[in-house]
Amino acid sequence: MTLAQIAKDFGIHEMTLSKWMRHADIDNGAKPGLSRTEATEN
């Protein structure tokens, strides 16, 4: 299943799903960056 197919199943744009996945990777420590928790604390 492709990202486009998954996004379509959820009724969202593919870029939205991509952003959600990137944020999840950052929040889980799999990618460098500011987590959502850290961002709201600043």
pLDDT in tens, 9-38: 999 999 999 999 999 999 998 888 888 777
The span from the CA of 35 to the CA of 28, in Å, is 8
Q: What's the pLDDT score for residue 11?
A: 97
Q: What's the pLDDT score for residue 2?
A: 94
Could you tell me the maximum CA-CA distance found in the chain, to the nearest angstrom?
A: 38
Q: What's the pLDDT score for residue 38?
A: 77
Axis-axis angle for helices 14-27, 3-10 (nearest 10): 100
DSSP 1-42: --HHHHHHHHTS-HHHHHHHHHHHHHHTTSS-S--HHHHHH-
